[in-house]
């Protein structure tokens, strides 16, 4: 796993947990979430109690356990709580985020986020078919990520916590040739 030293406390931080903090003029520093939150609180002149949530296993529709890590970040007037899986030292698989105002109780946010994760993981969108897979019903939910392997700027989709290339998804859609579709795009903090 790639580790980076936090610029402030000098503790090693996993690369998926590092926050690049700063500005174009002053430059950027790599911070751990604890130091990031402390600095945002200090700049804003308010108190902030750091809460570290332990990782949690949540089962999906097929009974497979997913190990979620959590990160609470202070953004000044708002807080965000993220939940993500780590695959091979990088963020990968399911990812969720909840946004709230700065006064929100982190434990209530955590309860809301876990409920949302449970609802999302209970939904199955893809079914395996031999080598490939197909769309289970007529609704697909997922995340638009970036395909770093591709020469073209095309998305890598994350559906049911699995990476599905743009090509693969195109092939799956061909089952519905002649049908119509409606594509609705939502912010990462909204429930789809
Ligand atoms: Zn630090």
Same domain, 87 and 166: no
- Taking the centre of ligand 1 as the mean of its atom positions, its distance from the CA of residue 7, in whole angstroms, is 7
pLDDT at 47: 81
Q: What is the pLDDT of residues 138-174, one digit of tens each?
A: 999 999 999 988 888 999 999 999 999 999 999 999 9
Q: Is residue 81 part of a domain?
A: yes
CA of 132 to the centre of ligand 1 (A): 43
Ligand 1 centroid from CA 66, angstroms: 27
Partnered with residue 126 across adjacent β-strands are 135
Q: Is residue 182 part of a domain?
A: no
What separation in Å is there between the alpha carbon of 34 and the centre of ligand 1?
6
CA 36 to centroid of ligand 1, rounded, Å? 7
Q: What is the C-alpha separation between 20 and 43, in angstroms, rounded?
A: 16
Question: Among the three residues 102, 121, 140, which one is the final residue of a domain in this structure?
Answer: 121
Pairing of strands 3-5, 19-23: unpaired
Q: What is the pLDDT of residue 1?
A: 65
110 and 22 belong to one structural domain: yes
- Distance from the alpha carbon of residue 173 to the mean position of ligand 1, in angstroms: 46
Q: Are residues 30 and 112 in the same domain?
A: yes
Q: Which of 6, 25, 4, 24 is nearest to 14 (CA)?
A: 4
Contacts of 9 (CB under 8 A, 6+ apart): 32, 34, 35
**Separation of CA 10 and ligand 1 centre (Å):** 6
pLDDT score for 54: 96
Tell whether 187 is covered by a domain: no
Centre of ligand 1 to C-alpha 20, Å, is 12
Residues 15 and 110 in one domain: yes
Residues 114 and 142 in one domain: no
Do 92 and 30 belong to one domain? yes
CA of 102 to the centre of ligand 1 (A): 21
Digits of tens for pLDDT over the chain (192 positions)? 678 999 999 999 999 999 999 888 989 999 999 999 999 999 888 888 889 999 999 999 999 999 999 999 999 889 999 999 998 888 999 999 999 998 899 999 999 999 999 999 999 999 998 888 999 999 999 999 999 888 889 999 999 999 999 999 999 999 999 999 999 999 999 999
Judgement on whether residues 86 and 160 belong to the same structural domain of the protein: no
61 and 96 share one domain: yes
Asked if 119 contacts 46 with a C-beta cutoff of 8 angstroms, the reply is no
* 43 φ, ψ (degrees, to nearest 5): -60, -35
Residue 113 and residue 31 share a domain: yes
Q: Are 38 and 133 in the same domain? A: no
Q: Are residues 105 and 164 in the same domain?
A: no
Going from the Cα of 2 to the center of ligand 1, the distance in angstroms, rounded, reads: 16
Give dist(CA 109, CA 104) in Å, integer. Answer: 7
Q: Could you tell me the distance, in angstroms and rounded to a whole number, from the CA of residue 11 to the centre of ligand 1?
A: 6
94 CA from centroid of ligand 1 (Å) = 26
How many independent structural domains does the chain possess? 2
Domain containing residue 11: 3-121
């Amino acid at each position: 796993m790639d580790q980076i030293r936090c610029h402030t406390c000098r503790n090693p931080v996993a690369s998926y947990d590092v926050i690049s903090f700063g500005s174009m003029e002053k430059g950027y520093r790599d911070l751990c979430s604890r130091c990031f939150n402390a600095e945002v609180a200090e700049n804003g002149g308010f108190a902030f109690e750091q809460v570290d949530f332990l990782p949690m296993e949540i089962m999906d529709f097929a009974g497979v356990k997913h190990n979620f890590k959590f990160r609470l970040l202070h953004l000044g007037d708002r807080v965000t709580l993220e939940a993500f899986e780590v695959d091979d030292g990088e963020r990968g698989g399911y990812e969720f985020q909840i946004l709230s105002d700065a006064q929100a109780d982190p434990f209530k946010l955590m309860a809301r986020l876990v409920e949302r994760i449970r609802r999302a993981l209970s939904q199955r969108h893809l079914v395996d078919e031999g080598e490939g897979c197909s769309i289970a019903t007529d609704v697909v939910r997922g995340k638009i990520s970036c395909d770093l392997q591709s020469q073209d700027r095309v998305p890598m989709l994350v559906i049911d916590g699995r990476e599905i290339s743009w090509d693969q998804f195109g092939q799956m859609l061909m089952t519905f040739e002649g049908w119509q579709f409606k594509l609705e795009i939502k912010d990462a903090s909204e429930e789809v």
